[in-house]
Amino acid sequence: MKAIFHNLLFKLIAIVLAVSNLFGASTAWFQADQSNWKTNNTFVFVHGLSGWGSYDRVYKLMPYWGMFGGDLMQYLNDKGFHAVCASVSPRGSAWDRACELYAELAGTRVDYGKAHSERCGHERFGEDYTGRALVTSFSDTDKIHLLGHSFGGATVRLFASIMETGSAEEQAATPENELSDYFKGGKGSWIRSLTSLAAPHNGTTAYCDDEAAELVEEESKNVSPIEAGLQSLMGSFNSQKSNDRILEDYADYDMYIDNALALNKTIITYPGTYYFSFACSCTEQQEDGTWTPINSKMEILFRSSSRMLGKFTGTTKGGYVIDESWLENDGLVNTVSAKAPFGAPQQDYDANNVPKGTWNIMPVYQGDHMSLEGGLFHVNDIKDFYAEHLSMINSLN
């Protein structure tokens, strides 16, 4: 039955893609005023949990960036931007994904680090991107902009931090002639800007110990067969890369609130980089104080988790108190968590004052967790949203 459902859904996807291409799914109108641009460095997009990128064959069938609305990368490049999308482990830890991203950008073999790979019990080296790098050049004079959706936000934050600080653990464990340039640090200036999109900077209550698990079980009783099938499909609709990791080396582990807050303590906010964040919301507050999904706008596969997030409060095993400020959500990530890492320099976005080394928190985007990648069955035309944001970044000094 599961295989039949997947076959039918893939046929539906192919039909919708064909119709979209025939009649034009996009209503994009943006015209870039390049006279205002100060730079035009490459924009590197990094997918979230269970996602895929340009190195993956599935991207040609269904682009992660744009989905039914058409390939966002193609649109942006047609508008004069330089845009590419990376492919990192769908369920790997932020560390492993950051190492993979470096290899794709530098055009080298993935090195997960001697100390890390030994501790986590997997191979030290991964795929070789020699001769097929994402960018033609990556250096202090050929900077990049990073954009990460969902867990891609944690990935690019850790990646950018290691670019500057390196890794003392890897330096101590590795002979100098074997140490990856990535772990040497001193390259924070190679990243001009970083944008997070519906990212669980501080974790999500979708991953929150036993008490939340009881709510997950309670909500699962209300899941329809269609919703269950879609959840199963999205879990397999990716590049299928994986390693034999220990628990601590998976994305799921990094998204528990206690673990996310611990990860934050290892990540710096580099003073020479612009930081932007977009949180999403697709819920509304009820009289009893809970937040429930706006069904007309939220993908069906997120509704049960949204209901759980919208009523869960409590205390984590590490002692962090989850209060009512965590109830608003996008179906998978709490809106408050996606605004900025707790404790990092931050301010609400001000077009007249955009500082470096500070998280510029953009207005909350009204959409569910998939809205900023283009939506699945709630198709969302995101082309002009990104074109305007990238144009603003290019206009900064």
pLDDT digits (tens, 9 = 90+) for 70-100: 999 999 999 999 999 999 999 999 999 999 9
Asked if 313 and 328 count as a contact pair (C-beta separation under 8 A), the reply is: no
Give the C-alpha separation, 378 to 375, whole Å. Answer: 5
| Confidence (pLDDT) at 221 | 46
Confidence (pLDDT) at 35 = 87
* Weakest-pLDDT range from 191-195, 227-231, 254-258, 321-325: 227-231
Distance CA 277, CA 359 (A): 7
Token pair 């990212």: residue:
199
Helix runs in 193-276, H state only: 209-220, 225-236, 251-255, 257-264
The 8-class DSSP code of residue 30 comes to: -
Residues 6+ apart with CB under 8 A from 72: 45, 63, 65, 66, 83, 374, 382, 383, 386
The average pLDDT across 41-69 equals 95
Class of domain 34-203+238-280+338-394: alpha beta
Q: What is the distance of C-alpha 242 from the center of its chain?
A: 18
pLDDT tens figures, 142-158: 999 999 999 999 999 99
Percent of the chain with pLDDT over 70: 83
Q: How confident is the model at residue 211 (pLDDT cuts 50, 70, 90)?
A: low
The mean pLDDT of 349-359, rounded to a whole number, is 98
State the average pLDDT over residues 378-387: 95
> 396: how many CB neighbours lie within 10 A of its CB?
13
